[in-house]
Amino acid sequence: MSESQKSIAQHYHERTKYDPETLALKSQTLDWEKQPIPFKEYKIGKVFDLKPYLKSVEEATSSDPKTRLWQRLSHLLLHSYGLTAKLPTMGGVHYLRAAPSAGGLYPAEIYLISRGTAILAPGLYHYQPQTHALVQFWEDQVWHDLRDACFWHPVLENTHLALVTTAVFYRSFWRYQDRAYRRICLDTGHLLGNLELMAAMNDYRPHLIGGFADDTLNQLLYLDTEVEGATAVLALANLLEIDENLPRLRTALPSETQTDYPNLTDGELLAYLHQATKLKTDSSGSQGWKLLEIDGILEDKYNFPFCTKVATVTSSIDWGKNLSGLEKIMVKRRSTRAYNGSELMLNELLALLDFTYQPHHYIHQGLDGSPDYFDLSLIETFIAVSGVNGLEDGCYYYAPKAQELRQIRFKNFRRELYYLCLQQDLGRDAAAVLFHTADLKKAIANYGDRVYRYLHLDAGHLGQRLNLAAIYLRLGVSGIGGFFDDQVNEVLGIPTDEAVLYITTLGRPR
């Protein structure tokens, strides 16, 4: 395919690949005087302090209905994106949050839209992580406008709260330039993973909506579209209300596929891609928002007759009474900085895969058995094994539907992993390195260029489940969004048009 025939998403992906011959030329010295502040503050508005409602799961059982609503909302927001630690830095303090972020830049923001509830009057609210508070910056009935922006998604007919994630692009662009869009979506995916799990623990069910009219939603939230934009909507169904126990619906709508675009210079790609992947009209077609039979169906590939196959069926992780272990680990989670090179046990790797890809195994513990993604059928998972006791070294394809690992390459790839992870010791010393990939051409055929958002949001969502499970099992884990793209394809032995989305390293922490 010639360059002129490639869509803007394909063009962006090719242009933002890291290559060993050009990476040094594109790198730049960071201007620390222009380092972005990872918080958005609203100076005017009514403030609702959420800190008084932070109690342990066992204590958060107030008999007062309104207090209980505040407790549920406070826990949901803190454990999804709240501050979890303060680290001293030169001349200041660096804050860590419940969701990981590349470079600690935290490009995402959370807004809450109320239709009117027992505790929140109709209007627009912003979550302030630095004070763990909600600020109501617009007091008016805006639910009709939200429904209009989401093309009258049926779930908004019965629900009364919605969360909207947005991105402040420069926070990540400052460090990662145009490639930052990948990281912004991955980081937001981490946040979606936290919201999914914490919502279930607090009797909510987030219904994910990725098909919305961007400009309408941005205007509704009074966003400065030159520097920020909406990335996802989550209608927050209250499971304690019968009429809000709603069926799953479609989450993703296709956009146009743009092949006629200007000659973009470095520094223009990120903004142009986001603008080009906006939706203006309802593209749901005759089926509307109905969940199609093909949506989300996993198709296992790489089923060669000569493959060594290893069953991944295993005992599920026990998160403790009332999922207390999961709640605690969300505030303790940290990305591992170094591994000691020791092996993982096979049952540990299988437990990670089980929690990440088999959510229906956790219904009895109170988690959602079918959480929303945009389209997991588009994402493939490969694992490069360098040190897993009970598993031969090599590259494996993970087949989630069949629940088995299929060995497709037979070699220890430690040296190659060190190189393709930009010579980070994490790649070399990890016991296993997991890759999320997607056939970008096929994905664009299904959803247009907007699928580039969906793919990275879903990969980040999966990556966060891996993060939490690994830390709970006292393993090391670290996501990597910077790698030599084409070299990953060579190591995995997969076609060059299979786009690498995300890497997660797993091992024993040093």
The candidate with the shortest Cα–Cα distance to 103, out of 52, 172, 31, is 172
Is the domain of 403 the same as that of 267?
Answer: no
Is the domain of 245 the same as that of 302?
Answer: no
More confident residue, 300 or 355: 355
pLDDT of residue 22: 77
Q: How many CB atoms lie within 10 A of CB 92?
A: 8
Q: Kindly tell me if the per-residue pLDDT of 337 is higher than 50.
A: yes
* Euclidean distance between CA atoms 433 and 124, whole angstroms: 42
Within-domain flag for 39: no
Is the domain of 268 the same as that of 316?
Answer: no
Q: Kindly tell me if the per-residue pLDDT of 495 is higher than 70.
A: yes
Is the domain of 270 the same as that of 306?
Answer: no
Return the amino acid letter for 426. L
Q: What are phi and psi of 365, to 5 degrees?
A: -95, 0
Within-domain flag for 395: yes
Question: Poorest-confidence range of 61-70, 128-137, 375-384, 428-437?
Answer: 61-70
Percent of all residues in the chain with a pLDDT value above 90, rounded to a whole number: 86
* Euclidean distance between CA atoms 312 and 391, whole angstroms: 11
Q: Kindly tell me if the per-residue pLDDT of 295 is higher than 60.
A: no
Is 162 strand, coil or helix? strand
Q: Structurally, how many domains does the chain consist of?
A: 2
Do 437 and 382 meet the contact criterion of CB atoms below 8 Å apart?
yes
Instruction: Please give the average per-residue pLDDT across 232-240, as a whole number.
Output: 98
Is the domain of 279 the same as that of 301?
Answer: no
Do 252 and 423 meet the contact criterion of CB atoms below 8 Å apart?
no
Within-domain flag for 208: yes
* Euclidean distance between CA atoms 435 and 110, whole angstroms: 28
Q: Which of 287, 319, 334 is the C-terminal boundary of a domain?
A: 287
Is the domain of 310 the same as that of 189?
Answer: no
Instruction: Please give the average per-residue pLDDT across 11-27, as a whole number.
Output: 85
The predicted model scores a pTM of: 0.96
Q: Kindly tell me if the per-residue pLDDT of 297 is higher than 70.
A: no
Is the domain of 195 the same as that of 300?
Answer: no
Within-domain flag for 28: no
Within-domain flag for 32: no
CATH code of the domain in which 241 resides = 3.40.109.10
Is the domain of 280 the same as that of 351?
Answer: no
Got the DSSP string for 324-371? HHHHHHHHH------B--PPEEHHHHHHHHHHHH-GGGGGGGT--SS-
Q: Kindly tell me if the per-residue pLDDT of 63 is higher than 80.
A: no
* Euclidean distance between CA atoms 210 and 251, whole angstroms: 6
Q: Which of 287, 321, 338 is the C-terminal boundary of a domain?
A: 287
pLDDT of residue 384: 97
pLDDT of residue 234: 98
Helix axes 324-332, 180-201, angle to 10 degrees: 150
User: pLDDT confidence of 33, banded at 50, 70, 90?
Assistant: confident
Instruction: Please give the average per-residue pLDDT across 150-179, as a whole number.
Output: 97
Got the DSSP string for 432-455? EEEEEEEEHHHHHHHHGGGHHHHH
Within-domain flag for 62: yes
**pLDDT, tens only, 362-395:** 999 999 999 999 999 999 999 999 999 999 999 9
Instruction: Please give the average per-residue pLDDT across 179-189, as a whole number.
Output: 98
Do 247 and 270 meet the contact criterion of CB atoms below 8 Å apart?
no
Within-domain flag for 22: no
* Euclidean distance between CA atoms 308 and 8, whole angstroms: 39
Is the domain of 335 the same as that of 435?
Answer: yes
More confident residue, 318 or 35: 318
Look over the chain and give the mean of its residue pLDDT values, rounded to a whole number: 93
Q: Kindly tell me if the per-residue pLDDT of 233 is higher than 50.
A: yes
Is the domain of 51 the same as that of 94?
Answer: yes
Q: Kindly tell me if the per-residue pLDDT of 56 is higher than 80.
A: no
Instruction: Please give the average per-residue pLDDT across 400-414, as a whole number.
Output: 94
pLDDT of residue 25: 56
The tokens for 308 are 């060594």
User: pLDDT confidence of 293, banded at 50, 70, 90?
Assistant: low
Is the domain of 306 the same as that of 362?
Answer: yes
The tokens for 509 are 């922490």
Q: Which of 287, 314, 349 is the C-terminal boundary of a domain?
A: 287
Is the domain of 269 the same as that of 302?
Answer: no
Domain range for 380 is 294-507
Instruction: Please give the average per-residue pLDDT across 425-450, as a whole number.
Output: 97
Q: Kindly tell me if the per-residue pLDDT of 89 is higher than 90.
A: no
Ramachandran category for residue 509: left, alpha or beta (phi over 0 → left; psi -120 to 50 → alpha): beta
Q: Kindly tell me if the per-residue pLDDT of 415 is higher than 80.
A: yes
The tokens for 265 are 């210079």
User: pLDDT confidence of 55, banded at 50, 70, 90?
Assistant: confident
Within-domain flag for 203: yes
pLDDT of residue 1: 40
pLDDT of residue 57: 46
Instruction: Please give the average per-residue pLDDT across 92-108, as a whole number.
Output: 93
Do 67 and 76 meet the contact criterion of CB atoms below 8 Å apart?
no
pLDDT of residue 61: 58
